[in-house]
Amino acid sequence: MKTTRNIVICALGIAAVVMCYFCVTSVTTPIKFENTRAEREVVVIKHLVDLRTAEVEYHHQKGVFTANLDSLLIFLKTAPKKEVMKEGSLTDKQLEAGLTEHKAVKILNEAKKKALKKNQFESADALYAYIWENDKDVINNGLAGFRRDTIESNMLQSLYKGAYDENSIDEMVVIPFSEGKRFEMEVNNDYKTSQGIRVPLFEARASFETYLGDLNKQELVNLIDREEKLDHYAGLKVGDVYAPNNNAGNWE
């Protein structure tokens, strides 16, 4: 009798421990999942923002977006980045008089052409110094000290300020924590607004399964189910191929 009672007490004790374990787990598992999710999404978002930067520059130079990640990488590694170096600015008085940035640059370019036909200059600095002092159109429009030069610089350095080089840039298209899976890229270069205006669109995305797939399966299923019921994309994405959204991310 005593032995039976001890067995029952022992069994109840074990059951209580098991119940406590499941109670604690039911609370800590979702918290741990969400904490890990938040930590990982910071990294995934960084990649998506960098992809957006690349696509915007690709579109700026070529007029379309690309869904081919290899083509995008080749572009980043080989294409030059054209930048306008600026010195001086137009005053309110000049702007009120109708002088625009475009007109000012046109006046400068014409002055440089005329100067180069007459003289040879050791440097661009010498050329500008000459036209600022001698060209009537430049002087009359108050453009002495105003300078605009288009230069070509390294694409990766210009866009990412040393965050990537030609070897590490390949990592940008790989979804972190995914065991090597690449971001999905989709484009719609023929989208037209209701006014008939063509607006090329792109979308880069990473599903929850790709970067959270090694975490608690039930929590992952619950997360996906919640997002799908809200008609949201079950993951992170930037841009949209169905409607212009200024290339925004769905976390913004």
pLDDT confidence band for 19 (50 / 70 / 90): low
Q: What's this model's pTM, rounded to 2 decimal places?
A: 0.77
49: left (phi over 0), alpha (psi -120 to 50) or beta: alpha
Helix locations, the chain, DSSP H:
2-62, 69-78, 92-96, 101-118, 124-134, 136-140, 155-160, 208-212, 217-229
CA distances, 8 to each of 13, 146, 171 (Å): 8, 93, 59
- Interacting residues of 114 by C-beta distance below 8 A, sequence separation 6+: 135
Cα angle vertex 112, ends 131, 88, to 5°?
A: 60
Distance CA 248, CA 237 (A): 9
246 or 25, higher pLDDT: 246
21-30, 49-58, 107-116, 231-240: least confident range = 21-30
pLDDT tens column, 41-93: 999 999 999 999 999 999 999 999 999 999 999 999 999 998 888 999 999 99
Residue 160 in tokens: 């990412």
Distance CA 189, CA 116 (A): 42
Residue 182 in tokens: 């690449």
pLDDT confidence band for 21 (50 / 70 / 90): very low
Q: Which burial class, exposed, middle or buried, applies to 134 when counting CB atoms under 10 A from its CB (0-12, 13-18, 19+)?
A: middle
Q: What is the pLDDT of residue 82?
A: 86
Domain ranges across the chain: 2-71+169-239, 89-145
pLDDT confidence band for 23 (50 / 70 / 90): low
- Interacting residues of 64 by C-beta distance below 8 A, sequence separation 6+: 58, 187, 189, 200
Classify the C-alpha dihedral 39-43-44-45 as positive or negative: positive
pLDDT tens column, 93-144: 999 999 999 999 999 999 999 999 999 999 999 999 999 999 999 999 999 9
Buried b (16+ CB within 10 A) or exposed e, 219-237: bbeebbeeeeeeeebbbbb
149 or 10, higher pLDDT: 149
| Angle between helices 2-62 and 69-78 in degrees, nearest 10 | 60
Q: What is the pLDDT of residue 110?
A: 96
Distance CA 240, CA 204 (A): 8
pLDDT tens column, 174-206: 999 999 999 999 999 999 998 999 999 999 999
Q: What is the pLDDT of residue 167?
A: 92
1-15, 157-171, 198-212: least confident range = 1-15
Cα angle vertex 223, ends 218, 229, to 5°?
A: 125
